Amino acid sequence: MPPLSSYRPTEPPDSPVNDSDSDVDLDLQELDPDTSSHVQASRLLGHSYSSEQRVPRIALRNIRMGGLRRSGNRGRGYGELGLNRDGNGDAVGLLEDDAQGQRYSDGSGNAGDEAPLLNEYAPRPQRRPSAGERLQGLAHIGSSLRLPSFMSSGTGTNRQDDDGIVDNKEDDPSTSRIIAVGSPQPTRYPPNLVSNAKYTPFTFLPITLYNEFSFFFNMYFLLVALSQAIPVLRIGYLSTYIAPLAFVLAITMGKEAYDDIERRRRDNEANSEEYIVLDFGEPGYRGTALRPSRKLMSSSLRSKDRQSLARRDRLSDIQEEEEQAEGQGRGQPSSLVQETKKKSRDLKVGDVLKLSKGQRVPADVVILKCSTPEVAQAQIRVSENTELEPTLVDAFEVDADQGSSSTGKGKEPESDGSHVSEGASSGETFIRTDQLDGETDWKLRLASVLTQTLPVEEFVRIRVTGGKPDKKVNEFVGKVEVMATKNDALNSRSDESSISESRRSAPLSIDNTAWANTVIASQATTMAVIVYTGPQTRSALSTSLSRSKTGLLEYEINSLTKILCALTLALSVVLVALEGFGNTEGNIWYVKIMRFLVLFSTIVPISLRVNLDLGKSVYSWFIQRDPGIPGAVVRTSTIPEDLGRIEYLLSDKTGTLTQNEMEMKKIHVGTVSYANEAMDEVVAYIRHGFAGTTGESVLVTPSSSYNTTAGVTATRTRREIGSRVRDVVLALALCHNVTPTVEEENGQTITSYQASSPDEIAIVRWTESVGLRLAYRDRKSMILESTESGKVVVRVQILDIFPFTSDGKRMGIIVQFQERLKPSGGSDNGEMWFYQKGADTVMGSIVAANDWLDEETANMAREGLRTLVVGRKKLSYEQYRDFSTSYQEASLAISGRDAKMQRVIAEFLEHDLELLGVTGVEDKLQRDVKPSLELLRNAGIKIWMLTGDKVETARCVAVSSKLVARGQYIYTVAKLKHKDNAQDHLDFLRSKTDSCLLIDGESLTLYLTHFGVDFISVAVRLPTVIACRCSPTQKADIAKLIKEFTKKRVCCIGDGGNDVSMIQAADVGVGIVGKEGRQASLAADFSIEQFCHLTKLLVWHGRNSYKRSAKLAQFVIHRGLIIAVCQTMYSIAIKFEPEGLYKDWLLVGYATVYTAAPVLSLVLDKDVDENLANLYPELYKELTSGRSLSYRTFFVWVFVSIYQGGMIQGLSQILTEVDGPRMVAVSYTVLVLNELLMVAIEITTWHPVMIMCIIGTFLFYVGSMPFLGGYYDLDFLLTWGFIWRVLAIGSISLIPPYAGKLIRRAMKPPSYRKVQGI
């Protein structure tokens, strides 16, 4: 190749020099370094030139569009141009960046990149520049211009966007990170650890102690215990007051520690997941490897044999020449590559991961290379022997070059080798992001063409620049550079002037990344470099920190203890006042008050916390060992009672209500509908329709006559239906973006499909099930086989594809059918058809007039099916040529390009389509979702569905899951950008409170920002709210708003990483163990395996936990109050002296061994059995009002305690003595027996443990009496006088409360008694 002249533009091979719109339309002055150097200097100093001052720019549009005119490219946007070649060259700087919509009319930008273009390889005289390098140099003039200034090494301070707005945030160089691939980083980045722990070893004690003493009664007891250090206030043993408090704190903190250790253990499982990492050693150490190394061969080296078969197009010729030149100039590879295994926690920024299908991405990565598995490539090679017809676009290109409009002779038929190379190393992979953003569609991700074609050994020359860590999961701006050597890549501080001229760079966007907790969905092996780790990943930044949760019952009991404390203080003051405030015997009045406060401290029972915490542990044990909810885990054991108080349930959709598995359920072809068993008829029609070809080499086209098998007489109607069925199945088998892949499992070859939409995969699977299999597909062609015979029945050339967009809600494809297996020579022989499928809302106006479409789509929508309308249109050669010319002109437009392209499609294609049919796809629901939602709704719980998925998808799932009742009006608010008419929507909803609200994320943001309180006040009154396109932060904000506005308990349930923030913001967070990730279940308070388990968790366990704890709390308060009343009676009798009635062991024993077990056994009580609880979910509804523990029930227990305490102590003093061991013996014995019998009275359903506790405690007390000689008169205990006094006083104490309970139950029976009687 001749050397490069300084002022002569490069002409690519086959370039038509006379074509005014060709790739070589360059101004010679553009390449002059002298004329452009002053521009470079001025740009670097931040100066800008007016358009008059600028020197002429290179017509970059021509470079961009050069590839668009080549065969097979016409239907694609700029971003796809380089992707149909094995080695796309380095023009990706232009091509990929255009995919983001950043297009420049004149290619203006930093002219400094132009100078190295001329003497690009001057420092290396031993190597001649290749044409590929020259073309790549031109490409980078454009590519580097579109990067934000924070990624360039220049000194510019401000980045100016297209609208002229200056953004100062992104330009700070300290916020970007430069990563040398495969090498240790000079900057220290956080470790790649997942952590859901609430505490560290240093923060555990301070935080737990603060949480404990923030409760009033713990602080109260701390003060009481500390008062015993003052001699004048001391009453009895110091340990009597210190030990219970220490015991309570030990139990509570022990539970918190256990919960957190369990969280850490589960985090450790995730952090220990192993990944394959590429280890780049020095090439000189090849013989000294410690372990057997597996040298990786890049796809560009592997595909040499394939490339020899392929017809090279323009860029691939240049690319190969460049690779050969590079190989000659470099004596050895830059590194020796070995595969090592690393745990997730040991991964570091800069490590290169080798990921395969089904693997979770452990950190935020930039994709460097994707290669298809060998088994898939082998199958592709099989297809190489078959020739394809020349594409129509080739014919157009020849026409354009010759300046004629005549057709009939195309180019030489090309072999399939070109598309083989495409498939082998196209740099594509699909990822699933439902764990990150809740979207069900797979996302296409691309390796930068700069790195895709680079051998793996040369990865150490790559340098990746990225912005600061950010929580925006749909945005990323960066660049990738391939340096001359590894040392250049490590030298991040080199400036523009000192960088080697051979550096190549390309922009990076969101399309080149995979964030943590996404899952690789393709068969391709994906190599990616880690950019962000641990707490800096998008997933972690979108997640709020864990917080300690406290149950509503705790707060209610806290307020009750304040009342009790006020009662204690009032009682102390009254007793001192009755005696008079005068000083007596050295005791000052306020000292007496303090001593009374200590004496009455039992009114605020310290044992309340112990009993409640032990109860919570029992409830957790029940939940985890319930066979009805296998796999349930309680991660936060402090809030099981809140499960019984839920009023709002916020649920995710994907993976929670649905399985994210699509299934084609129904197809309607105008006169007849097929579903379930009727699909067998479709199979028969397809078998006949594709079996009637007259010869082995003849293929089926839409114009082929529908044949019936010999000997079968078919009516005309049946033939028509058969023809329609064949046409719609053929349309569905062709109109999609699905690619088949082949993999080997257990020695068997299995075909799987990959596409961005699971709906499309479901439809293609259905066409296979009825007899038409997608056998092969690349960017230019598709082959369909009969599943019965295995023969090729349809072969088409893909002329244009119009992909699905959320705005357009439809996708289309133009194909040219091949009539024979071997082409006949002409490019205009095959029929051309435009197929389109889309939502009924947009397709209704595109298809020809009909009388059944609206009715059928409405019927399917009512069943919760996702409907797609399918249509087609035959195109003549002239029609397609006119369309193609107009479409290309529109695609060259600088402003409003997308709108102009869409107008051309609408004008030429999207009208009067033949309506073929309607399909109904079902998003499979999780097991028993419908009855579960109905039961929860009957239990008084309002259910909201918050999803990151599309509006249509959410609507279908809401209907199919019966979240929205049949016939219920769904009011949709979408794409609300201005707040002018926002209030109108709210006014409508206020007047129609029985409707369901469906709102998208954009509108939700507007409402939450400007009308937060108004919106939530309306929304909480609606039975159901569905929010779509929600970000993780929005989900959490909604949960917080409902909590703050309603003061009700909110439960959030989800299964993905995008649900973690919502789960942690809720009062009760429930995580479902998902197929792909356990992030939600790890961060949740309760983890279950199925959504249907939630009903049992709430309606059964939640209800029981709350009712038991409410009864337990009131009983413990009663136990403390009754002894305080006895103390009060005693103090009055001994002339208001603050002396203790029961001292030391009697006081400690009463709250522990003598009453604790029977009282605690109340946690086993239940008022109804599980079947009744599920049969009558209304029983759950009454709990939400909090009647089980309210001020009314509390004061009822206070009066019972005062009555019983007064009777026990008063009668004991009257019947024995005012002060003495006999009175203490009678009083204390009656007190213990009273508590045991009160427990027996309160029990609804007896349990063997309860009987054992009551009888065992009684026997223990009787057995301990001989050892209480220090407090009792033991001789008196053996007399009848002691026994009759105990029986008499006990009867007077117990009979009236029990009688009152019986009368109340007869007059106004509780709900559970009513259902038991049915």
Contact 995, 966 (CB under 8 A): no
For residue 41 the two structure tokens come to: 């200097």
Question: CA nearest 28: which of 118, 127, 102?
Answer: 118
What does the CA dihedral 994, 995, 1001, 1007 come to, rounded to 10 degrees?
-60
Residues in a beta bridge with 816:
797, 832
For residue 812 the two structure tokens come to: 């289309």
The catalytic residues are 652
For residue 189 the two structure tokens come to: 């980045």
Residues in a beta bridge with 1086:
634, 1070
Burial 544-578 (b: 16+ CB within 10 A, else e): bebeebbbbbbebbeebbeebbebbeebbbebbee
- 1289's enclosing H/E stretch is helix 1280-1307
C-alpha distances (whole Å) from 243 to each of 510, 1144, 1146 are: 60, 12, 15
Which amino acid, residue 213?
A: F
Whole-angstrom distance, CA of residue 183 vs CA of residue 463: 10
Whole-angstrom distance, CA of residue 1080 vs CA of residue 1052: 11
Class of residue 855 by CB neighbours under 10 A (exposed 0-12, middle 13-18, buried 19+):
exposed
Whole-angstrom distance, CA of residue 609 vs CA of residue 1121: 16
Whole-angstrom distance, CA of residue 957 vs CA of residue 79: 34
Kindly report the backbone phi and psi dihedral angles of residue 509, in degrees, each rounded to the nearest multiple of 5, phi listed first.
-130, -175
Residues in a beta bridge with 180:
463
Whole-angstrom distance, CA of residue 122 vs CA of residue 133: 13
The per-residue DSSP string of 119-143 comes to TTTTT-TTSPPPHHHHHHHHHHHHH
Whole-angstrom distance, CA of residue 483 vs CA of residue 505: 9
Kindly report the backbone phi and psi dihedral angles of residue 662, in degrees, each rounded to the nearest multiple of 5, phi listed first.
-95, 145
Whole-angstrom distance, CA of residue 742 vs CA of residue 726: 26
Q: Maximum CA pair distance of the chain?
A: 129
Which amino acid, residue 1054?
A: G
Class of residue 807 by CB neighbours under 10 A (exposed 0-12, middle 13-18, buried 19+):
exposed
Question: CA nearest 1058: which of 947, 1166, 909, 1209?
Answer: 947
Whole-angstrom distance, CA of residue 422 vs CA of residue 446: 13
Q: How many CA atoms lie within 13 A of 966 on its CB side?
A: 5
For residue 349 the two structure tokens come to: 């920024």
Q: In this structure, how many other beta carbons lie within 10 angstroms of the beta carbon of residue 1295? A: 10
DSSP state of 312: P
Whole-angstrom distance, CA of residue 1202 vs CA of residue 137: 94
DSSP state of 13: T
What does the CA dihedral 258, 262, 267, 271 come to, rounded to 10 degrees?
100
Whole-angstrom distance, CA of residue 1234 vs CA of residue 1215: 18
For residue 833 the two structure tokens come to: 């058809």
Whole-angstrom distance, CA of residue 1121 vs CA of residue 1126: 9
- 838's enclosing H/E stretch is strand 832-838
